[in-house]
Structure formats: structure tokens, C-alpha cells
Amino acid sequence: MKRRTLLQAAPALIYAPGLAFAQAAYPAKPIRYIVPVAAGGGSDMVGRTVTERWGIQLKQSFIVDNQGGGGGVIAAQATARAAPDGYTLMQGYVATHGTSPATRRLPYDAVKDFTAIGMIGATPNVLVVNAALPVTTVKEFIEYVRKNPGKVSYGSAGQGSLTHLTMELFKQQINSFMVHIPYRGVAPAFTDLIGGQTQAMFPGLAAAVPHIRSGRVRPLAVTGLTRHPQFKDLPTLDESGFKGFDAQQWYGVVGPAGMPAPIVKQLNESLATVLKAPDLREKLAVEAIEPMVMSPEQFAAFIKADIVRWTKLAKDRKIELDS
């Protein structure tokens, strides 16, 4: 009887979910890592740099799957529909899990349809002006805008983009008007800023660095609460009188909703180890990104707060896009 009972119980022991030996097997095969942009560029570099080192930590390879299009919608849908077994992850960022949910009706829920794994890092936005504009500080820029009502325009990477919303937040706080000129990406927006067709912009710092260093645009302040290591002489907007003013181009890792807690813990802890390595900080510095270690709970709360903040601004400024 004892032998028969043991044999009957054996299958249950083998297949019972949550057993330590079953969990220890993860990851038993390569992990698909969806990056919501085409190959090449900063976001793709971040994904490949992180997963190369992450794979060493997990003793398993990552397969980077670039799925551009739809402002990240295609990639987000593919991730949300995947099995929540830890073998499909996505590099979520401020558009897919911040500004787009705040300004568009999406075919996915940026909170409910995903499991937060951890933050990778962020780069601040920077207020830059045309080099010929007679201003060198945020205060002087505000005075210039107020003295030239309706004559100052700013460019953005497109309607509802972080570059757009950050300037709208700035306009709201200074209670002044500037004309918005949306472009199809940040590169053409910079072309017109340098050429004098627009006077200001709030790009991510990484995109602005070459133009700042060439002297073609003038930086006035960065977002965030601390100065950036690469521009220690550049004040923050918080220092310039805009207490708590924050906007960041951030990157993090999410998976489908319902991932097992032990796998999430393993992924988060191994990612944290990668982010703390000095050589990774040096690599990400190319994109002006500062690594940010967060627990899954902290990252989930960060995403929710970012969506709430940008949703409130979009409603206040009547920014709503059809798609």
C-alpha cells in the first residue's frame, strides 16, 4: 500500500508548481527580449548592452527582438499576449508605459497587462534654445517669452511625445504661451531649432549632447532633482525655482501579467547586479543614462505615478490623440 501510494503521488510531486527544484531550472532556454523600436539607435543599444551582461548573470542567452511601429503598441501587444513564463520580456519605456497611455486610447492596459520586473535607468530632458537667442538662464528665457507673446515657438518629436508634454508642463508652470511645432522625430526638430525656425525645445539629454557640445544650441537647465554627471555646471529646473519639476526618458523591463513571483525576483535581482557594474554605467553614459535600481514593487509604482502625472497634464492642456 505504501509503495502504491508513493507511485500515485509521484506525478503530483513532479508537476506541482512552485517547488524549489522546478523554479531553480529557470531559465532553461533563451529569453526573448522585445525592444519596441527598430534596430539601431539609443533604445536598441540600451537593450543589447543590458541583455548581453544579464545573460551572463543568468547563464542563459537573450534574443533581442526588435518590433518597431505604432509607437511601441505592436511590441506591447506581443508582450502582453505572451505566456507569463519568464521567457518573453520587453523593454518598456516612457512612451509605452507613460506618455502614450496618458494621451492615447491603446489596445493594452499599461498597468494591468504587464508584470513590472525592474528599472534600467533614465536620462533627463534638457531645456535648450537656439544659440542666437539672447538668453543664458531659465529666468531670462521666461522673461523673453513673456516679452514676445505668440512669437516664440518650440519643436517636439511629435504630438504627445515626452518632448511635447515636458514643454507643456513648463508652459503651465510659467503661465505663458508658446507655439507648438510637432515634427516626425527629434532629428528634424533639431534641424529647425538650429536653423532658427523654432526657438526652444525639451529633448532628452542624449539627443541634445552633440548639439550642445558643438555650440549649435544652448542648454539652460535639465529636468530631475540632481545635476547630471556629464554637465555638472548645468542647473536643474528644481534649482531654478521649479520645485519637483521632473521628466525623464526612462527604460525598464516588463513581462506579461501573471508572471510567477520567484521568477520575477530572480530576474530583478540579477538585473540589479548588472546595473551596479561600473562598466555598464560607462556604456550607458553614451546615451547619458544613469542606471536606476528598483524592486519590482518600486518600478510598478513608478509606472503608475508616471501615467497619472502625464494623464493629468494631458487633461489640463487638452491633449488627446486619436491613435
* DSSP at 185: S
118 plus 130 within the same structural domain? no
pLDDT at residue number 322: 65
Q: Closest by alpha carbon to 153, among 192, 211, 110?
A: 192
Whether residue 41 is found in the same domain as residue 118 = yes
Cα 44 vs. chain centroid, distance in angstroms? 12
261-275 and 296-316 helices cross at what angle (nearest 10)? 80
Instruction: State residue 45's pLDDT score.
Output: 95
**Residue 124 pLDDT > 50, yes or no?**
yes
Q: What angle do CA 292, 47, 18 make, to 5 degrees?
A: 75
Kindly state whether residues 40 and 118 are assigned to the same domain: yes
Q: Does residue 219 lie in a domain region?
A: yes
Tell me which residue range forms the domain holding 170.
126-231
Domain count, the chain: 2
- Per-residue pLDDT, averaged over 58-79, amounts to 95
Asked whether residue 24 is domain-assigned, the answer is no
Q: Are residues 193 and 263 in the same domain?
A: no
CA–CA distances in Å: residue 239 to residues 68, 170, 210: 37, 14, 24
- Closest of 105, 41, 30, 34 to residue 66, by C-alpha: 34
**Residue 266 confidence (pLDDT) above 90:** yes
| pLDDT at res. 14 | 38
Closest CA to 193 of 126, 247, 128, 123: 128
- Give the CATH number of the domain where residue 199 resides: 3.40.190.10
Whether residues 146 and 209 fall in one domain? yes
Whether 323 shows a pLDDT value over 60: the answer reads no
DSSP for 37-84 reads: S-SSSHHHHHHHHHHHHHHHHHTS-EEEEE---GGGHHHHHHHHHS-S
Strand runs (DSSP E) across 172-261, as ranges? 179-182, 200-201, 217-222, 248-256
pLDDT over threshold 70, residue 192: yes
Domain end residue (candidates: 200, 231, 262): 231
170 and 199 share one domain: yes
Q: What's the length of the chain?
A: 323
Backbone angles phi, psi at 249, to 5 degrees: -85, 100
Give the span between the Cα atoms of 154 and 129, in whole angstroms. Answer: 9
Terminal C-alpha separation, the chain: 66
Domain shared by 62 and 136, yes or no: no
Same domain membership, residue 275 and residue 194:
no
pLDDT in tens, 211-236: 999 999 999 999 988 999 999 999 99
Instruction: Tell me the C-alpha distance between 30 and 63, whole Å.
Output: 7
110 belongs to a structural domain: yes
Task: Tell which of 231, 266, 281 closes a domain.
Answer: 231
Whether residues 106 and 158 fall in one domain: no
Instruction: Specify the residue for cell string 518597431.
Output: 68
pLDDT of 36 higher than 70: yes
| Cα–Cα dist 249/121, whole Å | 9
On whether residue 14 sits in a domain, the answer given is no
Preceding peptide of 107 cis, ω within 30°: no
The yes-or-no verdict on residue 71 having pLDDT over 90 is: no
Give residue 260's pLDDT: 98
| For range 11-32, the mean pLDDT | 62
pLDDT averaged over every residue in the chain? 91
- Residues 92, 131, single domain; the answer is no
CA distance 277 to 194: 37
User: 139 and 111 share a domain?
Assistant: no
**Does residue 12 belong to any structural domain of this protein?**
no
Look at residue 171 and tell me if it is in a domain.
yes
Residue 238 lies in a domain: no
pLDDT at 5 over 90: no
Confidence of residue 24 (pLDDT cuts 50, 70, 90): low
Of the given ranges (5-9, 139-143, 183-187), which has the lowest mean pLDDT?
Answer: 5-9
Given 172, 203, 231, which residue is the final one in a domain?
231
CATH number of 101's domain: 3.40.190.150
- Mean predicted confidence (pLDDT) in 153-175: 96
In angstroms, the CA 282 to CA 230 distance is 11
